[in-house]
Amino acid sequence: MDPRHDPDLILGHLEGDLSPEDAAKVQALREADPDFAALLDGLAGDRDLLRAAPGAEPPAGLADAAMADLERSMLLDDADDGIAMLPPGRRRRFAIAPLLTYGGIAAVLALTASAVLKSVQPPATSPTIAAAPAGDGFDIAAAPIQAQRELARLDRAEVGFGADDTADLGRLETGAGGPVVAETAELAGLAAPPAADRVDRSALDDASPPPTVHAKGGLADADVQNTTRQAKTSASEIVVDAAPRPEEFQNKGAEPSAAFNNDAFSAVPVARAAAPGARALGRAATFGSGSPADRRAVPGVVAANETLTLDEAAADPGAGSAAFTLDAVYVPGDATDPVSIAIRKLLSKEAGESNAAPPALPQPGDLIRGITPAPTATPAWDQPLDPLGTDWARWTTLTPQP
Amino acid sequence: MDTPASNPTVPTAATAPTAPDDERDLVAAARGGDRAALGRLLQAHERRIYNVCLRMVNQADDAAELTQDTLMKAVQKLDGFRGDSRFGTWLTRVAMNGCLSHLRKRKLRQTASLDAGLPGASALRLADSLPQSREPDAHSRVEQQEGLRQLYEALAGLDPDHRAVIVLRDIDQMDYAQIAETLEIAPGTVKSRLFRARLALRQSMNPAPAHGAV
C-alpha cells in the first residue's frame, strides 16, 4: 500500500501517536509530495479548529426544567402521566391520533381477555382479597403483625410496614438460599417483633454505640461496618445473614460503597446488586426522596415481598427495567389515602364487570397477593414506592390467598 | 446554522466538570434520593451535553430538547447506571443515541456512508482528496469564524455515524476507549471511522475533482 493511503499512518500523525520511525516516514512523504502535505495540513486544521471552537451556551435551566418536569409528572393523574414525562417540546407535538388508535386496540384486547378469563374462572365471593389468618388473639391492632407472620411462614421472611416516620423497616431477601440482608425496625404502637429483629429508629443518634453485627455470609467487614454506620441505629443487634459476597457486587456492576447510601432502605440496593430476583420487604413503607426529612410512611398498602427481574437487554443504554410482583399487607389510612382509593376503585370496577356484589373492602391486615404493575410502570427499584406516581388501575391482579 | 456564543470554557469529556470521586459521590447521593446532588450532577453535564447535541443535530432548539430529554432519561434511568463507566460517558451515550434517533427521524442522511464500499475505497477517496493545485489553504484566506461556520456546515452534512465520532473526538474530546464505549463499537472501528470521517469532512470543506494524483 502506498503509505500516503495508510489510514493508520495518517490518523496516527493527526492524533500525535506515531512512533518516531513512522513520524519520520510521514515527514519524508510530506517533503516529497506537497499535495500530501496539504491534505495533512487540511485535516489537522479541521481538527484544530473544532477543538478550539468555543462552546455554545445552552438555554438557561435545562437541568432544572428536566427535574421540574419529572416532579410535575409525579403529581399529575394517571391520564396525564405519560404525557407529562415528555419534555415540553415533545409534549407540544404529542399527537392524539396514535393514542386513540392504540388505546382503542388495547381496550378491545383487554375486554376480550377479560371475557375469556371470566368464562374460565370459577366465581369467588371475594375474588381479590383474602383475609389474613385470624388465629388466637387476633385483633385489629395486631392484624398487620399477624399477616406479616403468615407471610413470614409462607416466604421464610419477615415483613414490615411503616406506621409513622419513626417506624419503618425493611428486610430483604433474595431467592431461596440467596443472600439476605436484614434490617428491622420497631413497629410503633402495634406490636414488637422479636428482640433480635428490632431496631429502634426513634433513638437515631450518631453518638450511639455501634450495634453488634453478626455477618454470617461473605460480606466484607468494611461493608458490614458501612451498613451499620449508614443505618444510624442504636439497635442492639443487626443480623446480616448470608450476606452478598464482594464478587456478587462486581458481577452486577455495583459498588458496595454505593449500595449503602440510603438510610431508609439501605439494604435494597444490596439485594438488587446481589442477585436478580431479589425480593424486597417493606419497600413501600416510606414515601419520598429517601432522605429522613422527606420520608414518611404510606398508609394503604405496604409491600410484603417483591420478585424483581432485571431486564439486562433494555433498549436504552445503562437502563434496566424492573418487572415485579408484590404481595402486600393492607394498612388502612384515612379517606384520602391514595392507595385505599385506588383499591376501592379497582374492586368496584371488578364488581361492576361481573355483576356481582361489590366485594368487601380489605380489612386491616388482609393480604393482597400478586399485584403486578403494568409494563409501562417502571418505578425505580431502589426508591420507595410512590403510590401517587403509580398507575394503580393497571395493577390488575389481586388474587386470593391460596 | 447556529453560531456558538463565544465561550471558551465549555466542559468536555476530557475536562470533566466533576472529578471522578466527586461524581461517584454525587451519583450515589442522587440514587439515594438527594435532590440537590441530582441537580448538581445534571447541571455539571448540561452544557457539555448540549454542545454534543448541537453539533450532532445542528439546530439549537432541537439540541435543547434533546439535552433536556437526555437529562430526564438520566434521572429516570439513574438506577440502571451501574458505574462501569463514568457517569459523563454514560450520559453522553444516552445523548448520542437520542441524537442518532432524532437524525434518523429527520432523514438527514445527506452524505453516503464512507464506511460502505469496496476494499480500497478509502485509498481511492484519499486520492480524491489530495488537492490538484497548490492553492493556499482555505484557513489562511478566511476569518477563523467563517472557517468554523463552514466546518460546522460540513460537519452537519456528514453521515451521522461519522459526525458522531468527530463530535466525540474533537468537540467532546473523548479518547478512543470512551468513544468506543459511547458508540458501542470496537476501538478499531473507532479509528477507521474517525479516519474516514476526517477525510469526508476535509472533502466537504475543500472539494476536489477526482483524479489520480497519487
Locate the chain A residue with the closest alpha carbon to B140: A45
Contact B90 A42 (CB under 8 A): no
Length of chain A: 402
pLDDT over 70 for what percent of chain A? 19
Per-residue confidence (pLDDT) for residue B169, from 0 to 100: 92
- Cross-strand bridge partners of residue A310: A322
For residue A85, the 8-state DSSP code is: T
* Among A247, A249, A228, residue whose Cα is nearest residue A239: A228
Nearest-CB residue to A54 (from B7, B33, B132)? B7
In this model, does residue B207 exceed pLDDT 60? yes
d(CA A300, CA A302): 7
Copy the grid coordinates of residue A97. Answer: 391520533
Amino acid identity of A312? E
So what's the pLDDT on residue A335?
45
Q: Who among A55, A87, A319 is closest to B4 (CB)?
A: A55
Q: Which residues of chain B have a CB within 8 Å of the CB of A254?
A: 82-83
What residues of chain A lie within 8 A of the CB of B151, using their CB?
A: 46, 49-50
Cβ contact B42–A63 (<8 Å):
yes
Contact A343, A361 (CB under 8 A): yes
If you compute the radius of gyration of chain A from its CA atoms, what whole number of angstroms results? 28
Q: Name the DSSP letter for residue A392.
A: G
The chain A residue lying nearest B151, using CA atoms, is A46
Tens of pLDDT, residue by residue over A96-141, are: 445 455 666 777 777 777 666 555 543 332 222 222 222 333 232 3
Closest CA to B157 of B200, B206, B214: B200
Nearest CA in chain B to A84: B72
Contacts of A46 in chain B (CB under 8 A): 151, 198, 201-202, 205
Distance in Å, alpha carbon of B97 to nearest chain A alpha carbon: 8
Q: Which of A252, A261, A287, A289 to mutate to test the interface with B (most CBs of B within 10 A)?
A: A261
Flag if A69 and B81 touch (Cβ within 8 Å). Answer: no
Give CB contacts under 8 A, 24+ apart, made by B5-11.
Answer: B5/A54, B5/A56, B5/A57, B6/A54, B7/A54, B7/A55, B7/A56, B7/A57, B8/A54, B8/A55, B9/A55, B10/A54, B10/A55, B10/A56, B10/B47, B10/B48, B10/B51, B11/A55, B11/B44, B11/B45, B11/B47, B11/B48
Quote the longest CA-to-CA distance of chain A: 100
3-state DSSP percent of chain B in helix, strand and coil, to 5: 65, 0, 35
pLDDT in tens, B174-194: 988 889 888 888 888 888 889
Helix (H) or strand (E) holding B165: helix B160-166
Calpha distance A8→A12 (Å, rounded): 6
pLDDT in tens, B169-178: 998 889 888 8
Nearest chain A CA: its distance from B108 CA (Å): 19
Interface contact A54-B5, CB threshold 8 A: yes
Task: Please say whether the beta carbons of A172 and A268 come within 8 A.
Answer: yes
Confidence (pLDDT) at A357: 62
pLDDT higher than threshold 90 for residue B52: yes
Torsion of CA A146, A147, A149, A150, to 10 degrees: 120
**Chunked in runs of 10, what are the mean pLDDT values of chain A (402 residues)?**
75 85 88 86 88 83 75 51 36 42 70 64 29 29 40 30 24 25 26 35 35 31 35 30 30 30 29 29 28 30 33 33 41 48 59 60 52 41 42 37 34
The C-alpha cell 430483604 sits at: A172
Nearest CA distance, B107 vs chain A (angstrom): 18
Smallest Cα–Cα separation from B122: which of B194, B56, B177, B186?
B194
pLDDT digits (tens, 9 = 90+) for A369-393: 544 443 334 443 334 344 444 444 3
Contact A67, B38 (CB under 8 A): yes
**Residue B198 in this model has a pLDDT that exceeds 70:** yes
Do A62 and B68 count as a contact with CB atoms less than 8 A apart? yes
Q: How far is CA B25 from CA A5, B19, B40, in A?
A: 47, 10, 11
How much is the pLDDT for A75?
A: 59
Report d(CA B138, CA A42) in Å as an integer: 8
**CA separation for the pair A135, A145 (Å, rounded):** 12
Comparing CA positions, the residue from A388, A360, A173 lying closest to residue A299 is: A388
pLDDT at B146: 81
Mutation site for B-interface testing, chosen from A9, A18, A57 by largest number of B Cβ within 10 Å: A57
CA distance B44 to chain A (A): 9
Q: Are A359 and A126 in contact (CB under 8 A)?
A: yes
A57 min Cα distance to partner chain B (Å): 6
